[in-house]
């Protein structure tokens, strides 16, 4: 049943969000800390485990795949509802700060990816 997969996906998201919210309260932070990331971990664990096989195989899996495939359309809708006007009304300071942060972060991607790589290869050598 398709709805089993959808329900599993929903359960993962709600559980993750609850944990993320609780983590936020525990850290005294006004934000959900990693709720979506935790939910994704649950779904990965469920889809790799035998216990949940009936909820992720066949038609049930199609219920999850449908929402995965709807991801890009949803992201396009998300782009269409951004406050683009406010972004440009912030003036040059906002533009410079935003652009500079992105450029520096882009430049760090290969650097930090490499740190991970070397650690992995060292571990493998040992």
Partner 1 sequence: MEILETVFVRNSLVVAFAVIGITIWLSYFLADRLTNGRIHGSAIAIALGLVAAYFGGRATGGSTGVADITLLGGIGLMGGGMMRDFAIVATAFGVKLSELKKAGLAGVVSIFAGVVVSFIVGAVVAVLYGYTDPVTVTTIGAGAVTYIVGPVTGSALGAESDIIALSVAAGLIKSILVMIGTPLVAKSIGLDNPQSAMVFGGLMGTTSGVAAGLAATDPKLVPYGAMTATFYTGIGCLLGPSILFFIVNAVL
Residues numbered 50 to 69 that lie near partner 1 (CB under 8 A) are 56, 61, 64-68
Options 1, 4, 7, 20; binder of partner 1; rule CB under 8 A? 20
Name the minimum Å distance from CB 112 to partner 1: 5
Of residues 66-125, those binding partner 1 (CB under 8 A):
66-68, 70-91, 93-102, 104-110, 112-113, 115-117, 119-120
Nearer to partner 1, 106 or 125 (CB): 106
User: Helical H runs in 1-126?
Assistant: 2-26, 35-47, 53-56, 58-69, 71-80, 84-89, 92-125
| CB 94 to partner 1: min, Å | 4
Q: Least distance in Å: CB of 68 to partner 1?
A: 4
- Binding to partner 1 (CB under 8 A) within 23-42 occurs at 23-24, 27, 29-37, 39-41
Distance (Å) of CA 64 to CA 2, 4, 61, 71, 83 = 8, 9, 5, 11, 30
Number of residues that bind partner 1 (CB under 8 A): 80
Q: Are 30 and 64 in contact (CB under 8 A)?
A: no
Q: Is the dihedral of CA 92, 98, 100, 106 positive or negative?
A: negative
Determine the distance from the C-alpha atom of residue 87 to the mean position of all C-alpha atoms in its chain, rounded to a whole number. 24
Within 10 A of 2 (CB to CB), how many other CB atoms are there? 15
Least Å distance, CB 63 to partner 1, is 9
């Amino acid at each position: 049943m398709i709805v089993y997969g959808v329900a599993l996906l929903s359960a993962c998201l709600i559980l993750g969000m609850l944990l993320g919210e609780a983590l936020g309260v525990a850290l005294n932070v006004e934000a959900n800390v990693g709720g979506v990331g935790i939910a994704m971990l649950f779904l990965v664990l469920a889809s790799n485990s035998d216990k949940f096989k009936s909820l992720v195989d066949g038609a049930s899996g199609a219920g999850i795949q449908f929402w995965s495939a709807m991801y890009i359309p949803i992201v396009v809708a998300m782009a269409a509802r951004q406050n683009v006007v406010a972004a440009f009304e912030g003036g040059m300071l906002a533009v410079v700060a935003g652009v500079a942060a992105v450029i520096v972060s882009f430049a760090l991607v290969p650097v930090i990816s490499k740190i991970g790589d070397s650690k992995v290869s060292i571990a493998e050598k040992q």
